[in-house]
A and B are shown apart, each in its own frame.
Chain A
Amino acid sequence: MTSSLCVCITSSELAQSLPVSFTMTKLLEWLFAVSLVGVAWGLVTFDLLDFQFPAVYREVAWPMPVYLLVVFGCYSLATVGYRVATFNDCEEAARELQGQIQEAKEDLKKKGLKI
């Protein structure tokens, strides 16, 4: 889903309106959100606006990017592991398929096809 933003520029000399359209892509949305979060994190960690937070908040904030990466990695690992463990294995169907493949190979060999 994209949303268009139309900006009209009028110049007194040209007396004409030039429409310029700007499409917000998903990448731009993500970059915008990431940069907002990044600025907020930078403000808290490096105390750029001199808020002088209590030391505990700074202690928790500064490893945040690494922490989020590790949490994302853990979530990915857990999802992969869970889906491997609950994969719908059909052993009987697999054996049947292998048997049919053998049958087909022998049949084609008899008819002269080289495999």
Chain B
Amino acid sequence: MATGADHAVGLGLVGFSLLLFTYYTIWVIVLPFVDSDHVVHSYFLPREYSVILPGIAALILLLCVGTFIGIVTWKNRKSKKVN
């Protein structure tokens, strides 16, 4: 059994992904079947954002991955020059 920080981080990830899944499922699948004057609609953004926000998140993720690869490659190239 993992201990301490590992355990906490793991459970945190599980909890976060469950929350995200529930919120997103309600937003995309449940809301269209709910009357438009129900109070639950006030907790959710307009439907277009359910596609735009994950798109932006994916772009940011790609940016981070690309930046990381760029930094590592640049560092490697410098050390090769010195050698």
Contact = CB atoms under 8 A, between A and B. Distances in A.
Given A67-B24, A67-B28, A78-B17, A86 B51 contact: no
Nearest to A87: B2
Contact of A56 (B2, B18, B32, B58): B32
Interface residues of A, number: 24
A56 B55 CA distance: 23
B67 interface: no
B47 A59 contact: yes
A81 B3 contact: no
Please report whether the interface of chain B is mostly helix, strand, loop or mixed according to DSSP. Answer: helix
A86 B28 contact: no
Nearest to B24: A70
B29 A83 contact: no
A78 B13 contact: yes
Nearest to A84: B10
Please report whether the interface of chain A is mostly helix, strand, loop or mixed according to DSSP. Answer: helix
Contact of B13 (A56, A59, A70, A77): A77
A20 interface: no
Contacts of B6: 84-85, 87, 89
Interface of B: 1-3, 6-7, 9-14, 16-18, 20-21, 24-25, 28-29, 32-33, 47, 50-51, 54-55, 58
